[in-house]
Amino acid sequence: MKNFIRSPMLLALVLVSACSSNPLNKAKDLNEEPLDKKGEFKGATIGVAENRDVVIRQESSAESELRKLAAEAYELELQLTSDFDALNRCREELADPRLGGTGKVLEIPEIEMIRPIGEVKEEFGITSEGKLSFVKKELFGDRVAGERKYIGTLKEQIKLTSKHKKTCDREMRQARVKAGLPGERYTGKGYYKNGKYIQTRRAEQTLDDAFAIQSEEASAAQSDSSQP
C-alpha cells in the first residue's frame, strides 16, 4: 500500500516559504465599490457593480473565518480517524484464517494530523502591569494559510483511506459469505414489551461474535425444526 501520509515537517517548511509574501498578512483598506443590491444568498450579497458585473460579495470577520476553518479541520479529523479505524478493523479481520486469510495483516501507515505552521515568534519579559509573561506572535495570514493547507491534506487522506476501505469491505463481504457468514456484520435485534427492550440477538463486535452468533442461530433453527 502506498504511504499516503505526508511529512508534517515538509508541510511546515513549504508553508513558511509559501507564506513569506502572503497578502493576507497585511491589513489593507477595503475600498469596496458600491453594488446595486439585487438579492442575497447564504449570507452573501448579490448585486450589480458599476461596470455591470454581477457580483456575489460576502463579508466575515477575521475571527469568524479562523473559527470556521478550525471547526472544519476538527470535523475532518474525526472522519479520518473513524475511517482509518474502520479500515484497520477490516484488514485485521480479513487476515483471519477463519475467513481464508494468512494471519498476516496488510500494513497500514499511521496517520499524522499535525497542522503545518508558519513562523511563531516568542518573547519573554515584563508587561506594563509588571507581570512576567510569555508572548507568542504569528502572522494571521500564515495561520489562515496553514489551516487551509491542513484541511486540504486531511481531505486527501480521507479520499485515499476511503478508497482502500471500499476495496477491503468488498473483499470482506466475499470472504464472509465463503465462511458461511452474512456479507454484512450482524446487527442487534430485539423488541419492546411493556416498555422494556428485550434483546433477541446481540450486535457483532468482533469476528468471534460473528461465528458465535452463527452457531447460536443454527442451533436455534435446528431446535425449531425438530419440534413437532
Same-domain check for residues 92 and 167: yes
| Range in 45-49, 74-78, 185-189, 215-219 with the lowest mean pLDDT | 45-49
Specify whether 206 is located in the same domain as 157.
no
Last residue of a domain, one of 169, 184, 199: 184
> What pLDDT was estimated at residue 117?
67
Each residue of 100-159: pLDDT tens digit?
999 999 887 777 777 776 777 888 889 888 889 988 888 888 888 889 999 999 999 999
Asked if 191 contacts 198 with a C-beta cutoff of 8 angstroms, the reply is yes
Tally of domains in the chain: 2
Query: 134 and 64 in one domain?
Result: yes
- Residue pair 187/200 in contact (Cβ under 8 Å)? The answer is no
pLDDT, tens only, 201-228: 999 999 999 999 999 988 887 776 666 6
Q: Are residues 166 and 97 both part of a single domain?
A: yes
For residues 60 and 167, membership in a common domain is answered with yes
Q: What angle do CA 57, 60, 64 make, to 5 degrees?
A: 155
Q: How confident is the model at residue 36 (pLDDT cuts 50, 70, 90)?
A: confident
Q: Is residue 45 part of a domain?
A: no
Q: Band of the pLDDT at 14, cuts 50, 70, 90?
A: very low
Residues 128 and 155 both lie in one domain: yes
105 part of a folded domain: yes
Residue range of the domain that includes 204: 187-228
- Sign, CA torsion 12/18/19/20: positive
